Amino acid sequence: MINDADIAEIASIIQLAMAPAFLLVGIGAMLQLFSGRLVRVVDRSRVLTQQHGDCTPERRECIVRELRGLDRRMTVVNAAILMGVCGAITVSIVIAMLFITGLARIDLTIAISVGFILAMVFLIVGLCLFLYEARLAERNIHIDRELLRLEE
């Protein structure tokens, strides 16, 4: 039978686990953002792939150049998603270890600390990859010089 002390201890563990749980929500939002970017890149690559066969050699060269950039962006976004998922899994393991520590009275302090640091490393790498992908996207956005000239 559970007594009042056990209930208070469980409540304390739940409170302690809330911060990492909110971190999971943030990671989920981050993953949604990354996935949205991936979808846009994939959609654009499909459009260009369809245009590839029915165009002039000059246009084909532009399409191939853009497809190479899109392929690089897909690789980087997929790596960012992987880092975000690894971070989420690590945070989930940290939450489980918090409960194990509190309920089974096993000292996992070092493992919890290492897990949290590892989760932060995954998130930092994922965010850096996202920043790199955004820079790649910016580099690939270009307007044909002919379109920028005013007719005189």
Prediction pTM value: 0.83
- Residue 102, pLDDT above cutoff 90: no
Q: When comparing pLDDT for 1 and 77, which is higher? A: 77
Q: How many CA atoms within 13 Å lie on the side-chain side of 137? A: 17
> With contact defined as beta carbons under 8 Å apart, do 31 and 91 qualify?
no
pLDDT digits (tens, 9 = 90+) for 42-72: 999 999 999 888 888 888 888 899 999 999 9
Q: What is the pLDDT of residue 2?
A: 67
Q: What is the pLDDT of residue 152?
A: 60
Q: Give the chain's mean pLDDT.
A: 89
